[in-house]
Amino acid sequence: EPEVTQTPSHQVTQMGQEVILRCVPISNHLYFYWYRQILGQKVEFLVSFYNNEISEKSEIFDDQFSVERPDGSNFTLKIRSTKLEDSAMYFCASSEGTGGDGNTIYFGEGSWLTVV
């Protein structure tokens, strides 16, 4: 079964460093997302991406964050200057977006980011 894949599975970074989290969405999907989950808390929406641009973003997704689809398969989340409170599990997700079963959103296994 097709799946969303994410790398790295775990990254430790120093405060102030830049981090890039990578995702390969399911190949025929058109909508891409990043969510995050701080340990023990809710899964929170960060950003959605469609047709090569951001379609919606949350208050969390400030100027420190950016997303990019550098080629036909990858979707990346960049955190420019990491803070301690950015430590979380970051989930990439994708969906066909065609209505009906196509609105099913599939999540990757997550990238666990630890900022020290």
Partner 1 sequence: GEDVEQSLFLSVREGDSSVINCTYTDSSSTYLYWYKQEPGAGLQLLTYIFSNMDMKQDQRLTVLLNKKDKHLSLRIADTQTGDSAIYFCAEMDSGGYQKVTFGTGTKLQVIP
Structure tokens at 69: 């689809």
Q: What is the 3 state secondary structure string of 78-110?
A: EECCCCHHHCEEEEEEEECCCCHHHHCCEECCC
Among 23, 77, 91, 113, indicate the residue that binds partner 1 (CB under 8 A): 91
Contact 50, 97 (CB under 8 A): yes
Note whether 60 binds partner 1 by CB under 8 A: no
Shortest gap between Cβ of 46 and partner 1 (angstroms)? 10
Could you tell me which stretch among 12-20, 38-46, 62-70, 75-83 binds partner 1 (CB under 8 A)? Answer: 38-46
Note whether 44 binds partner 1 by CB under 8 A: yes
How many Cα atoms occupy the beta-carbon half-sphere of 72 within 13 Å?
A: 2
Could you tell me which stretch among 15-23, 36-44, 64-72, 80-88 binds partner 1 (CB under 8 A)? Answer: 36-44
Among 50, 60, 64, 114, indicate the residue that binds partner 1 (CB under 8 A): 50
Beta strand 43-50 with 106-107 is: unpaired
Give the residue with the Cβ less far from partner 1, 15 or 108: 108
